[in-house]
Amino acid sequence: MRLLLVEEDPKVRSLIRHHVSCRWPEAQIRSHPPGVRGPLPVEFLAQGYDAVLLSSLRDGQGLVWLHELVSRPGFAPVIFLTDSDEQALRSRAAEAGACGVVCRDRIDHAQLIELLQQARSEHRRALADWRVSAEAQESHRFGDARIPGYRRARLLARGSVSQLYVAESEKVGALVALKVTPSRRDETGVDQALARFIQEYEIAQRVRHANIVRLYELGVADDHAYLAMEYFHHGDLRRRMRAGLSASEALAFAAQIANALGALHEEGILHRDLKPGNVMLRINEQVALIDFGLAKHEALEFEVTDAGLIFGTPHYMSPEQGHGQELDARSDLYSLGVVLFEMLTGQKPYSADNPMAIIYMHRNAPLPPLPEPLAELQPLLDRMLAKRPEDRFPDAAETAEAIETARTAWLVNATAARA
């Protein structure tokens, strides 16, 4: 039994879990508190669940949610949880499409179990019929590859090699980002795309950290490699930057990124492509690093970048990275300094008409000063963006500590200025 429980009150969630686990001890119940997580994404059909239990919520919003969810073709059965046994509310819920109604304050155990059994049976029959339809076959199509277990929602981005889709995973029970690329061997007999996928998957599996993307599955289908990973409904840091950041928010994000880099570096991994587009945002503005396709692991025998080539994004490259020199953790920390400068000012520290000019400026041009209102943060940026690695902070832990110290001082001074 797999259930999605849309309920704000933790006591009610605990009570539902108790009733369900008495009948199905191994039941999987995923909670979705609306006040924290917001609405269910419009592409989501809850097909990996046997039923959805939906609370009446506040101000009648439960019925609004119910109308919207059951209007989605193929959505899982919904059992509505009311605040009372009021017949009018039960009738409205049934008319809106609920497959059953339960009073959450006085749960009838036998009734709840019977409704869940009926919902599961109906849903599984509906899914069995749907899976043999032409619509279902098409929904598993991602470009030229058919990938069972994933329902295509939409194309998110198309690159020169890979395509990125939003898909619903029945196994995960959530929307995922699905990266798909053709499996092709080069003249050496090595499949570069698959090698990068394997590396990205192994890094994310090895480094378990709150600020690292969660990866779910690596696979091959129809001569294509695919990678299923966490989908970030709130987008990336660049999108957040466009909405505007205070200095305190920018420093808080930078500290989180430093902690994520520290987790990577402790495992002997360099990211090598840190930029706002590779920093995603979860709920409550928790960041998660993604895209380890250019990362370097000291223990890997296979180098996924060709020797002699400069890789990364010029605007965010350290001087040593831009000149193809040996790198260590301090290169990633320089890139973090560039990201922090951009969060604070809305501008990149160096801009030019061509990439090589930007690379030259990172090595030779002085750092542009911060605007006067941000002047107290200049020593921090000067240290993070020092031209020579030995003049920067030695590691991510000290970088994070310095950022947090600067943020605390900034907040204290801001409070004093307002007083």
Note the pLDDT tens digit of each residue in 274-306.
999 999 999 889 999 988 766 665 544 444 444
- CB contact set of 62 (below 8 Å; sequence gap of 6+): 54, 55, 56, 80, 81
Q: How confident is the model at residue 419, as a pLDDT?
A: 74
Could you give the CA distance from residue 93 to residue 96 in angstroms, rounded to a whole number? 5
Using pLDDT thresholds of 50, 70 and 90, give the confidence band for residue 318.
Answer: very high
Could you give the CA distance from residue 338 to residue 321 in angstroms, rounded to a whole number? 14
Positions marked catalytic: 273
Could you give the CA distance from residue 46 to residue 4 in angstroms, rounded to a whole number? 8
Could you give the CA distance from residue 187 to residue 247 in angstroms, rounded to a whole number? 50
Q: How confident is the model at residue 300, as a pLDDT?
A: 44
Mapping DSSP to helix (H, G, I), strand (E, B) and coil, where does residue 384 land?
Answer: helix
Q: Which of 340, 349, 376, 384 is nearest to 249 (CA)?
A: 340
Phi, psi of 198 (to 5 degrees): -60, -45
CB atoms within 10 A of CB 409: 14
- CB contact set of 30 (below 8 Å; sequence gap of 6+): 2, 3, 4, 5, 49, 173, 174
Find out whether 172 and 48 touch, Cβ atoms under 8 Å.
Answer: yes
Find out whether 374 and 345 touch, Cβ atoms under 8 Å.
Answer: yes
Strand bridging mode 78-82 / 51-55: parallel
Indicate the pTM of the whole model.
Answer: 0.86
CA dihedral of 354, 355, 361, 367, whole degrees rounded to 10: 100
Domains located in the chain, CATH noted = 2-131 (3.40.50.2300), 136-230 (3.30.200.20), 237-418 (1.10.510.10)
Query: What letter does residue 188 receive in the DSSP assignment?
Result: T
Assess whether pLDDT exceeds 90 at residue 159.
Answer: no
Query: What letter does residue 212 receive in the DSSP assignment?
Result: B
Q: What is the mean pLDDT of residues 241-270?
A: 95
